[in-house]
Amino acid sequence: MHELSLCHAIAGVVKPHAAGRHVDVVRVQVGALRQVVPDSLEFCWSLVCQHLDENVVDTALELELVPAEVCCRACGQRSKIVSRWSVCCPACASGDVEVLRGNEFLVTSVRCPRA
> Would you say 108 and 28 are in contact if contact means Cβ atoms under 8 Å apart?
yes
Q: How far is CA 60 from CA 47, 49, 57, 77, in A?
A: 12, 10, 9, 38
- Strand, helix or coil for residue 37: coil
List the binding residues: 2, 72, 75, 89, 92
Q: Which residues are annotated as a binding site for Ni(2+)?
A: 2
List Cα–Cα distances, 32 to 14, 35, 38, 45, 66, in angstroms: 23, 7, 10, 19, 6
Pairing of strands 68-72, 97-101: antiparallel
Q: Residues at the annotated binding site for Zn(2+)?
A: 72, 75, 89, 92
Contact between 56 and 21 under an 8 Å Cβ cutoff? The reply is no
